[in-house]
Amino acid sequence: MGKSVDTPDGKLDILKNISLDVKYQEAVVIKGASGSGKTTLLGLMAGLDQASSGDVFLFGENLTGKSEEQRSSIRAGRVGFVFQSFHLVQGANALQNVMLPLELAGIADAQQLAVTSLNQVGLENKTSTLVEHLSGGEQQRVAIARAFAVKPTVLFADEPTGNLDAATGRQIADLMFHLRDQSGTTLVLVTHEGELLERGDRQILIESGRLLSG
């Protein structure tokens, strides 16, 4: 698959001739310099964006040519996301943030599942706290609880420790991989953090939009 965009100077190739398979329950780490295309690759794999050429399959479904609504339907209840900037709903508390994807997926007992997920990440005493009143590490724990609450088959994570100090980042990494090991979730992770790089089953190196190893 490939991804290109039109610029005033002509077509810019962001990803070129990428061929990649991720196995069930595998933890894959995508690494590369800033601007190498790794976040773009993650977005294509998750169906958040569409490839300019080639095909992208998720759960056996070809995402190419599908609308955002169709791609969202394929992800619903089966895909979790963790981002560097947390992407939490401001003005809502921790419990409401974790309940949101459960309710959108039409999952019964959303509140109890959200409470259980927050307990798993050590935030049982923060359920009613507005997320903007939580520390960065606590906000990322809410994001992880939200991602794992739906019991995803695949979790996509984009620099999940990038906005955290080293000690908190290690705690978040430990937590994420612990939950991943418990649930058997397939993990696709973009990072430049050395500790996270070493924890994956396989490393994928992207350089200037090309797959160099993996």
pLDDT, tens digit, for every residue of 66-81?
999 999 999 988 999 9
Cα-to-chain-centroid distance, residue 160: 8
Q: What is the DSSP secondary-structure string of 63-75?
A: -TT--HHHHHHHH
CA 42, 154, 72, 15: dihedral to nearest 10 degrees?
A: 20
pLDDT, tens digit, for every residue of 167-184?
888 888 888 899 989 899
pLDDT band at 191 (very low <50, low <70, confident <90, very high): confident
Q: What is the pLDDT of residue 145?
A: 94
Cα-to-chain-centroid distance, residue 13: 23
pLDDT band at 137 (very low <50, low <70, confident <90, very high): very high
Domains plus CATH for the chain?
3-88+142-213 (3.40.50.300)
CA distances from 161 to 22, 53, 138 (A): 22, 31, 12
Report the mean per-residue pLDDT for the chain: 91
For 24, the token pair is 């069930």
Tell me the mean pLDDT in the region 92-97: 97
Taking the CB of residue 6, how many other CB atoms lie within 10 A of it? Answer: 8
Comparison of pLDDT for 193 and 87, the residue scoring more: 87
pTM: 0.89
| Percent of the residues in the chain that have a pLDDT greater than 90, as a whole number | 63
Residue type, 47: G
Q: What is the pLDDT of residue 77?
A: 82
